[in-house]
Amino acid sequence: MDQWICSRLYSTVVQCEQAFRASELHLVTSALRSFWIHSLCDVYLECVKPLLAPPRCSSAQVSSSVLFHCVSTSLALLSPFMPFITEELWQRLRPVQPGAAAGPGLCLQPYPSTTQLSHWQFPAVEKDFELVQELIHVARSLRVQCGMTKEKPAMWAVCSPSQARVLHRFGSAVQTLGQISSLHVCCPGPAEGLADPRCRKPRRCGGPTCQLHLHVQGGTSVVGQMDQLSRRRDKLLPKLQKILLNIESPGYSNK
């Protein structure tokens, strides 16, 4: 996860540099917003919370250092657009840095560049994490479908060996963000099927070579699921009819 967030920050700096050269300032702010919300807060911070909570494990110091550098660099990237807020946050962040001494304000710091952060570039890690994010999305979706708001069920991933290596590497992130109790990875042979008799609710993820199976204690209520699907259908039918009426109206094809 540390390599992933560092690489995401590097990619954000690349986007900012390209947008500045093209004088597309809205693309700069959009890239920074996406990094702060969707990468740093929604993913990395949620993943390292268990590590930073007492009692801290040995990797907590590394995560704290990475988090500090991500936040401080992000504040420097935001400084031209929000100078007063970022300066205030910067001054409160500096005492956290080990061995920090009084120095110039954020507005006098050099703007982050790709040359400065080139050692944080891990494109393969970013590519691998796309599968992990898709798996997390499907895991959450399956929990909602089964009405599991508080329970953390076990999950099985039946996938290819290459996908299994990725899931083993990011297993803790899948468990934390997917809100599951455990992740079991299985790589069946060519003659074996994908289904696991211990699991229910299969859902394809990451292409035809990966399936997820959620273990539901006691099974799910068929009547409840039918009722839920009926309500969804009743909501969608009026919208569908409205769209069909618009399509069939005279002159629609000329619009």
Contact 25, 16 (CB under 8 A): no
Digits of tens for pLDDT over the chain (255 positions)?
888 999 999 999 999 999 999 999 999 999 999 999 999 999 998 888 888 777 777 777 888 888 888 898 999 999 999 989 988 888 888 776 655 555 678 888 888 898 888 888 898 998 988 888 888 888 888 887 777 777 788 888 888 888 888 888 888 888 888 888 888 888 876 545 444 444 455 455 555 577 888 777 665 556 677 787 888 899 999 999 888 888 888 777 776
Nearest to 180 by CA among 218, 206, 141, 211: 141
Q: Residue 153: what are its φ and ψ, rounded to 5°?
A: -80, 165
Could you give the CA distance from residue 67 to residue 73 in angstroms, rounded to a whole number?
Answer: 10
DSSP one-letter code for 190: T
Segment 56-112, tens digit of pLDDT:
777 778 888 888 888 989 999 999 999 899 888 888 887 766 555 556 788 888 888
Instruction: Give whole-number Cα distances, 38 to 23, 85, 149, 151, in Å.
Output: 24, 21, 22, 25
Q: Which amino acid is at 140?
A: R
Radius of gyration of the chain (CA): 23
Q: Which helix (H) or strand (E) holds 155?
A: strand 154-158
Task: Give the β-pairing of 154-158 and 182-186.
Answer: parallel
Residue 193, SS3 per DSSP = coil
Nearest to 11 by CA among 72, 62, 74: 74
Instruction: Give whole-number Cα distances, 141 to 17, 82, 121, 135, 179, in Å.
Output: 36, 37, 31, 10, 11
- Please name every residue paired with 155 in a beta bridge, in sequence order, or none if there are none: 183, 214
* Torsion sign (Cα): 163, 164, 169, 173: positive
CATH class belonging to 124-189+200-220: alpha beta
CATH class belonging to 1-121: mainly alpha
Q: Which amino acid is at 162?
A: S
Upstream peptide bond of 123 is cis (omega within 30 degrees of 0): no
- Give pTM, 2 decimals: 0.72
Q: Tell me the domain boundaries of the chain.
A: 1-121, 124-189+200-220
Q: Which helix (H) or strand (E) holds 203?
A: strand 200-204
